[in-house]
Amino acid sequence: MSVGTELWLVRHGETEWSLSGAHTSRTDIPLTEAGRKRAEKLRDYFKGTKFDAVFESPMRRAKETCAIAGFGNVAKVNDGLREWDYGVYEGKTTKEIQAEIPGWSVWKNEIVGGETAEHVGERADGVIAQALAAAPDCGKVALFAHAHILRILAARWIGLPATGGALLTLGTGSVSVLGWERETRVIASWNREFN
């Protein structure tokens, strides 16, 4: 069951779209200079930390963060860590979408041409299973990915539905740790940011 294994969630550094609040899934954009500097702080933070496995989203912003943080040579791409597919809302901010659909929320409304929260939750469950299998003896696994997939993954870790990710916020370049209290899955540390 891998009780004791920790999942370290690392959100990629800042991009132009994360700065503006635009929904970004399939668009493969690089980090900003501030995003690269935040990733350098992650490298300092992780110095001396040993991971049994490191998984990264296939998207450039996550891979770049992972590489700058010092794990690019050991990371394995995991398609399950792709960001939520926002369909027709790709590149738009919530404010822009709400101008057309008052009260719209990625967590509550249909994602036209994209994924449901439940489907993203199924992907998150698969990543959790793979991470636990990669470190069965109370090890540590790092996951470099994106805000919504990591929020959903954390929700699923503690037994909430995928939409429970709405209750969690996650800054760019942040680190969170999913762990255990005895045999119960818990959020041990959340949204640690490095300014």
Residues forming the active site: 12, 83
Q: Which residue has the tokens 């009260």?
A: 103
**Encoded tokens for 42:** 């992650």
Alpha-carbon torsion angle 29, 132, 186, 60, nearest 10: 0
- The H-or-E segment that residue 97 falls in is helix 94-100
Q: How many alpha carbons lie under 13 Å from residue 165 in its C-beta half-sphere? A: 24
- The H-or-E segment that residue 9 falls in is strand 6-11
CB 135 within 8 A of CB 5: yes
CB 34 within 8 A of CB 2: no
CB 58 within 8 A of CB 28: no
Q: Give the span between the Cα atoms of 58 and 78, in whole angstroms.
A: 7
Residue 115 makes CB contacts below 8 A (sequence gap 6+) with: 84, 85, 87
